[in-house]
Amino acid sequence: MQFIEHLRSLEKALLFVCLLVVIPTMQIFAQQVDTATTKQLKGVSILGARADRYISPPQSLQGATLQRLNTYSVADALRFFSGIQIKDYGGIGGLKTVNVRSMGTNHVGVFYDGIQLGNAQNGQVDLGRFSLDYMDIVSLYNGQKSNILQTAKDYSSASSIYLYTKKPSFEGKEKVHVAGTFRTGSFGLLNPSLIYQHKINDQVSASLSAEYTYADGEYKFRYKKKEGYDTTAIRKNGDITARRVEGGFNGMMKGGEWSAKFYYYDSDRGLPGFVVAGVFGHVDRQMDRNFFVQSTFKKDITKKYSLLLSGKYASDYVRYIAPDTALLRVDNKYYEKQSYFSIAQKYSILPNWDVALSTDYQYNSMESTMRDFAYPTRNTVLIAASTAAYWNRFKIQANALTTIVDETVKIKTASPPKREVTPAVFLQYQPTHYKDFYLRAFYKRIFRMPTFNDLYYTEIGNSYLKPEYATQYNVGLTYNKKYEKGIINEVGFEADAYYNEVTDKIVAMPTVSQFRWSMMNLGFVKIHGVDMKGYTELQVAKSLTVSARAVYTFQLAQDFSDPKDTYYKDQILYIPKHSGSLILQASYKQWDFNYSYIYTGERYNAKANIRANYVQPWYTSDISVSRKFRTGMLDWMASFQVNNIFNQYYDVVLNYPMPGTNVKATIRVGF
């Protein structure tokens, strides 16, 4: 049986590869999206810092492509990247975290307008709560952003997601932009938002964005067994009310730029919980409040010396309530504070050789109303020394990151101080004189700190935990060609093969009973993977542009923790061997069409790869159509979207059902 399944999955892999190979011959080819949209960014003024050079290109979705996908959140957009798995608990308010190349959510750094979003409590950023309304670019870097004038934090994750909000840009005599958007649809969604941008002078602009989201979160789900039960029910307690306000200033100067912004978000949501026999609803709730202010300043001080300053203060609050009178009653509040400052400097020794030094300091503290809470504080110093150079067709970037972490606690034992030094090397080689094709490779060793929960969570935490290490080896190639004339605007193909190891993986292990778990450095995972993506944009006719983007990921992520385990070498839970996505977009005059498809292959919901833990593949197709029009001064856009058009019922996480077919309508007006 397993043999047959294996054959079937091989067959699937082959087909996906075939699709990728066949498509180019039909001249429907593939994208490296960031370059596709550089066209739109051409109008950069002479003001501003020198452009960054990346050795390892990111996967990006931005601008029109991102807007046409019309997804609910950043997490939904990230599903279209290769190498990524989203853990999605379902619904608009459901937790959505990303796992890049099977190394685990805690190895993913998330940066918002250039500065990392922290969560010292559990190390995970819920990407479901970042709406795409105010987002300009969503990028994923494997390894790291291989720029060198950057904060030490940029070097400190196994992979990083960068979210950039819309920067104001004004043409001609424009002084003010205003855009209002209203979305509604399934899940009782009511989602108005407003963007206001103001040009103060030629150097400085201000912007403000506000958004309100309400959804009752109800949707139908179905569990069915062949010749067995077939039950359909409504997901309850998935309601959410959320408010977001953010804004700030963007400034340009000779050889430099700066920004200062604030961000506020609060939400009150139901936690719909697991669906098991006899339990189809829960009453747990969560309230959040996130606030931060941050600022960056970047300037080429001399021809050879550049400076980047960054600073941030963040205050986060979470309250979790479990008011079910038949169960353990919980009402815990958590308060987290973060202060952060970074100085990065770059010096050009030779025109083709730069060195840089980045020094970051971060202070984290956490308080809670939990019984026996440890009240931890953490002081982190990160020092990254890096260099970048190129000779002929060869580029290199290398760095060493020193991390110094010291913690204190009010009760119990603080985690011992940590001093770690971790290297990374990125190479790029252009084998021929054609600039369209180049090869690249990287090696990176990095770790993630145990979180405050791992270390100090009452009764579960283990302050003796060591850092969890991830080591990555990657080779890849990029082919990208743009055409001035003819039907093809652009074609591109990228492939990467990689081997990762996660050692001292922090896992929860039971101690004396099912209710007593503790965190331990016990896991060891080896990951072999292949990521492929292709893109093309075609100018089919003067007013018809068609683009296609296909992505395929293969991952063999095996548990090598203990040869005595029955699941030794089994695929780790929730990681499919095969996954992929396809986006087809067409623009015809004022019309835009989008078709997107996501495939996640068979996987297992527990460590043992046995039939009882087997999870069926799932795949969804979403379509949307939108039209732009103009009345007087106003620009309008209306769109309608149908998601999961074949009404497939599936779980991403066991017993957390996902919605079937759902719809969304959007109208935007602005000037």
Partner 1 sequence: MRMKKYALAAAALGLVYFSSCRTEDTILPPTVTPVDTPSVPTSIIGFYLLNEGNMGSNKASLDYYDYTSGLYKQNIYAEANPTAVKELGDVGNDIRVYGSKVYAVINVSNRLEIMDVATAKRVKTVEILNCRYVTFANGKAYISSYAGPVELDPNAPIGKVIELDTATLNITREVIVGYQPEEMAIVGNNLYVANSGGYRFPNYDSTVSVVDLASFKEIKKINVAINLHRLKADNRGNLYVSSRGDYYTKPSRLFKIDTKTNTVVKQIDFSVSNLAIAGDTAYLYGTEFNYNTGKTTIAFNMLDLKTDQLLNKNFITDGTDKGVKMPYGIAINPITKEIFLTDAKDYVSPGTLYCFGADGVKKWSVTTGDIPAHFAFVYGVK
For partner 1, which is the closer residue by CB, 30 or 117? 30
Contact region for partner 1 (CB under 8 A) — 18-26, 169-177, 469-477, 625-633? 18-26
Under rule CB under 8 A, residue 51 binds partner 1? no
Tally of residues, the chain = 671
Which of 234, 327, 349, 421 forms a contact with partner 1 (CB under 8 A)?
Answer: 327
Q: Report the greatest alpha carbon distance in the chain.
A: 75
Under rule CB under 8 A, residue 433 binds partner 1? no
Name the DSSP letter for residue 30: B
To partner 1, the closest distance from the beta carbon of 517 in angstroms equals 8
Under rule CB under 8 A, residue 286 binds partner 1? no
Three-class SS of residue 453? Answer: helix
Which of 21, 44, 487, 634 forms a contact with partner 1 (CB under 8 A)?
Answer: 487
Distance (Å, whole) CA 439 – CA 431: 7
For partner 1, which is the closer residue by CB, 498 or 599? 599
For partner 1, which is the closer residue by CB, 176 or 327? 327
Q: Which of residues 532-561 bind partner 1 (CB under 8 A)?
A: 538, 540-541, 544, 546, 548
Calculate the CA dihedral of residues 300, 306, 308, 309 and round it to 10 degrees: -90
Q: Are strands 108-112 and 159-165 parallel, antiparallel or unpaired?
A: parallel
Q: Which of residues 630-669 bind partner 1 (CB under 8 A)?
A: 646, 648, 654-655
Those residues with Cβ within 8 angstroms of residue 529's Cβ, 6 or more apart along the chain or in another chain = 83, 101, 102, 497, 498, 499, 500, 553, 554, 555, 556, 557
Under rule CB under 8 A, residue 611 binds partner 1? yes
Name the DSSP letter for residue 456: H
For partner 1, which is the closer residue by CB, 493 or 618? 618
Under rule CB under 8 A, residue 582 binds partner 1? yes
Distance (Å, whole) CA 31 – CA 295: 33
To partner 1, the closest distance from the beta carbon of 265 in angstroms equals 28
Under rule CB under 8 A, residue 43 binds partner 1? no
Which of 43, 566, 631, 632 forms a contact with partner 1 (CB under 8 A)?
Answer: 566
Under rule CB under 8 A, residue 518 binds partner 1? yes
Under rule CB under 8 A, residue 421 binds partner 1? no
Q: Which H or E run includes 57?
A: none
Tell me if 221 sits within 8 A of 657, measured CB to CB.
yes
For partner 1, which is the closer residue by CB, 72 or 221? 221
Which of 586, 637, 652, 658 forms a contact with partner 1 (CB under 8 A)?
Answer: 586
Question: Half-sphere exposure of residue 545, counting CA atoms within 13 Å on the CB side?
Answer: 13
Contact region for partner 1 (CB under 8 A) — 50-58, 164-172, 354-362, 610-618? 610-618
Amino acid letter for position 404: I
Distance (Å, whole) CA 507 – CA 510: 10
CA neighbor of 97 nearest in space, from 114, 115, 119: 119
Those residues with Cβ within 8 angstroms of residue 398's Cβ, 6 or more apart along the chain or in another chain = 386, 387, 388, 423, 424, 425, 426
Q: Could you tell me how many residues of this chain bind partner 1 (CB under 8 A)?
A: 76
Which of 567, 572, 603, 657 forms a contact with partner 1 (CB under 8 A)?
Answer: 567
For partner 1, which is the closer residue by CB, 379 or 503? 503
Q: Which of residues 450-479 bind partner 1 (CB under 8 A)?
A: 459, 462, 464
Three-class SS of residue 40? Answer: helix
For partner 1, which is the closer residue by CB, 339 or 648? 648
Distance (Å, whole) CA 110 – CA 96: 13
Tell me if 314 sits within 8 A of 118, measured CB to CB.
yes
**Per-residue x/- marks for partner 1, 86-125, CB under 8 A?**
----------------------------------------
To partner 1, the closest distance from the beta carbon of 70 in angstroms equals 18
Contact region for partner 1 (CB under 8 A) — 22-30, 47-55, 200-208, 439-447? 22-30
* Residue given tokens 């105010």 in the structure block: 134
Q: Which of residues 364-393 bind partner 1 (CB under 8 A)?
A: 371
For partner 1, which is the closer residue by CB, 400 or 625? 625
Amino acid letter for position 49: A
CA neighbor of 158 nearest in space, from 115, 109, 114, 125: 109
Contact region for partner 1 (CB under 8 A) — 19-27, 40-48, 115-123, 179-187? 19-27
Under rule CB under 8 A, residue 28 binds partner 1? yes
To partner 1, the closest distance from the beta carbon of 16 in angstroms equals 8
Q: Which of residues 213-272 bind partner 1 (CB under 8 A)?
A: 223-229, 231
For partner 1, which is the closer residue by CB, 54 or 595? 595
Between the CA of residue 511 and those of 458, 464, 515, 519, what are the distances in Å?
14, 16, 8, 10
CA neighbor of 318 nearest in space, from 303, 336, 300, 305: 336
Name the DSSP letter for residue 158: S
Contact region for partner 1 (CB under 8 A) — 45-53, 136-144, 343-351, 608-616? 608-616
